[in-house]
Amino acid sequence: MNIVLEIKNLHIGKVITNKALKDYTTYKVGGMPICITIPDGINELIKLLKYLRRNNIKYMILGNGSNVIFNDSGYNGVIIKLDNFNDLKIHKNKVYVGAGYMLNKLAMRLCRLGYTGLEFATGIPGTVGGAIYMNAGAYKSDMGYVVEKVKVLTPNYEIIELSNDEMNFHYRTSFLMKNKDYICLGATIVLLNGNPDVIMEIVNERKKRRLETQPLEYPSAGSVFRNPTNDFAGRLIEEIGYKGKSIGGAKVSEKHANFIINTGNAKGEDIKKLINDVKGKIKDKYNIELKVEQEFIE
């Protein structure tokens, strides 16, 4: 079976071949998938999913790749990107936004317009769909605080809306993370009116602090571990002397110990090894099981 040819013959939109996943992830790691697809719209997405499921072909919906780690040996499946699901409708303090819209771009736009509630997201380089899937957050807020309802495609190819309660948002998780056959298509977000000058002052101050304290000049995927109760993962990693520790091209940042950076030639396998090494050392020394915020994709 020539999967790529068969997918091309479905006429679902863009089909990209011979492109490594390192070009589609913020860690800049990952080998070749079977192909990368960008469906034109909902009908094309459904047609593609039916084909993949019928033929038992592995697939994954990929946002901006800002929280995933692929192996450099490749991904034996099809990547689906929802870049064309990028509508944006602003009506008073309610916003409908497609899953493929970049979250940080959305947050900046709404903050400048004087809407408050999404300030926390201005530094999160993921798509809206990816952020909802994992309930992304920062500064003691997350998507669960602002999302009113989520438009999803069910495993039976129905388009339904799930309420905030049905989404079951908790710290870095949601209904979608536990039910991967449901696909986020978009969401309605509710914000409050505020003073644009005050809002942008907060946003700019936080940006300045991020630049000073985080290794944003290197490819990474943000914080690697969740903070344990009443403590900080970064502090624990510093305590075991792991700032600057490296495996291959993966390195624990000397600027912020809860970041692992790609110094230029890291493989996905290097990052995974380093994460597991840190995890093991913390467990041995403090009997604390650090939870990884990033997803390992096999």
**4 SS3 class:** helix
Q: Which position has the token pair 């915020």?
A: 293
CA 269 to chain CA centroid, Å, is: 19
Q: Between β-strands 88-91 and 94-98, what pairing exists: parallel, antiparallel or unpaired?
A: antiparallel
172: left (phi over 0), alpha (psi -120 to 50) or beta: left
- What are the helix (H) ranges across the chain? 3-8, 42-54, 103-112, 128-134, 164-167, 175-178, 196-213, 233-239, 268-286
Contacts made by residues 87-90, CB under 8 angstroms, sequence distance 24+: 87/186
- Residues 294 and 92: their CA atoms lie apart, in Å, by 35
Provide the annotated active-site residues.
172, 223, 293
DSSP 57: -
DSSP state of 121: G
Cβ atoms of residues 237 and 256 within 8 Å: no
Alpha carbon 149 to chain centroid distance? 19
